[in-house]
A and B are shown apart, each in its own frame.
Chain A
Amino acid sequence: MLGTLMRFLPIVTQIFLWGAVFSALPSEDGSHGQIVGYSYHDMVAYYLLTMLSRAFSSMPGLASGITREIREGTIKRFIVQPIGLLEYLFFYRLAHKLVYYTIAIIPFAVVFYLCRGFFRETPQGAVWVGYGISLILAFLLGFFLEATLGLLGFWFLEVSSFLFIYMLLSFFFSGHMFPIDMLPEPMASLVKLIPLQYLAYFPAAVFLGKIRGTALVTGLLIQAAWVVVFAFLARVALRRGLRHYSGFGG
């Protein structure tokens, strides 16, 4: 629990950093300026919300766990036992998240209560629904994306450096580091094409009311489409991989 509280420490840095950034902005009539439509309060709220999105979408150890099973051969048990690898991992992850956040909801609540001043307006009914759906989809997307990467281990055996690059990219382009609207134009549109933004940026932006109406609906549909794509890819990778795989002895 203390560990979870510690996770929020970077928020303090962010508050100071963005406080300094916004204080230097050319502001009209004494009010704070804005960066791509984010006020200072929005910015801090954004960081808090990405922490929440990541709580749903990040899967520490999933991909590396799968590759370890492949490398060490323990994946054999999923061939002989009547359970599917993906199903097992999925429900294991789900249970883990549920138990972990039943406890961790306390530090989350404390931090969000302390920072309540940064949330200017609470979202209305429809936005809440959209936000909830986007978080659930973020969890699904995070799971299938990482599972697919892990299953690449059938062909590469050692994917840790590959995973590191993926993690770097996802940290940068999922919007965990900054709102991706901030990127200069050709980049911003490009980054919005890849699925990473749905892991952190999209839910937070929905909550802050940056994405509304039809954009919200299409966004959710695209996110769902990505979930389906990666669920399909993971399944294909597993089937192909098992055909490719050979286990000896044991």
Chain B
Amino acid sequence: MRRPFRYLTIFATFARNSLIRDMTFRANFLIESISSLSWVLMNLGFYILIFHYTPSLGRGTGWGKYEFFVFTGTALMINSLAGMLFMTNADNFGELIRRGGLDFVLVKPVDTQFLVSLQRVDWSSGGNFLVGLGLTLYSLKCLGDWPSLTTIILYVFYSLLRRDHSLQSDVSAGRDECLVGTQ
């Protein structure tokens, strides 16, 4: 098998295994999806409320309601992609080092970076991606003018470039902080 395809097959296996694992604890999966979804919906509710009182964020900045929701939707998609593909693995990496599991990763005949970064796919973060996509499309529809094909391609390209780990972990840390509350 040629190399690039080999990695694709391995990734497909990872994705499949993770899905099987998630489906083994279906209720847990459902609860996780719902809870991250309700967090997103709550934030959306907050911004809808804000735009109930103001036509735009800042005078003359052009950030009206739907422009802002395109932005939020995009951020949501990027975050959920990062969460889906990398977050669990990034969290797990420290454990691997601490418990010595990294040895087994190092001796495997595939690229270590690949194995470390993509071994688990967190499917429950995927729900937010759909919400983000829906939100973006809906807001674009409300804005009225559809972007050109070039813009769309560039949009996808830049979105993929910006999978920022630290951002995502900040977001979830922020969420936990907010919910758990002060000491």
Closest chain-A Cβ to B82's Cβ sits at a distance in Å of: 20
Complex Cα–Cα for A24 and B51 (A): 11
Q: Does A249 contact B (CB under 8 A)?
A: no
Is the beta-carbon distance between A168 and B182 smaller than 8 angstroms? no
Known pairs A161-B35, A177-B46; A167 contacts B179 (CB<8 A): yes
Closest chain-B Cβ to A135's Cβ sits at a distance in Å of: 13
Q: Does B50 contact A (CB under 8 A)?
A: yes
Known pairs A10-B174, A24-B57; A171 contacts B179 (CB<8 A): yes
Known pairs A23-B59, A60-B180, A100-B183; A168 contacts B35 (CB<8 A): yes
Known pairs A7-B182, A60-B180; A171 contacts B57 (CB<8 A): no
Is the beta-carbon distance between B58 and A20 smaller than 8 angstroms? yes
Is the beta-carbon distance between A164 and B35 smaller than 8 angstroms? yes
Closest chain-B Cβ to A166's Cβ sits at a distance in Å of: 10
Give a binary string over B72-84; 1 marks a CB under 8 Å from any A CB, 0 the rest. 0000000000000
Give a binary string over B5-35; 1 marks a CB under 8 Å from any A CB, 0 the rest. 0000000000000000000000000010001
Closest 5 CB pairs of A and B: A58-B181, A20-B58, A167-B179, A20-B57, A161-B31
What count of chain B residues pass the 8 Å CB interface test?
Answer: 27
| A178-186, A211-219, A224-232 - interface stretch | A178-186
Which residues of chain A in 174-205 are interfacial with respect to chain B, using CB atoms and an 8 Å cutoff? 176-178, 182-184
Nearest B-chain residue to A168, judged by Cβ: B38
Q: Does B172 contact A (CB under 8 A)?
A: no
B39, B49, B56, B57: the one within 8 Å of A168 (CB): B39
Complex Cα–Cα for A54 and B52 (A): 27
Which residues of chain B in 37-61 are interfacial with respect to chain A, using CB atoms and an 8 Å cutoff? 38-39, 42, 45-46, 49-50, 52-59, 61
A60 neighbours in B (Cβ, 8 Å): 180-183
Q: Does A242 contact B (CB under 8 A)?
A: no
Complex Cα–Cα for A57 and B88 (A): 32
B107 neighbours in A (Cβ, 8 Å): none
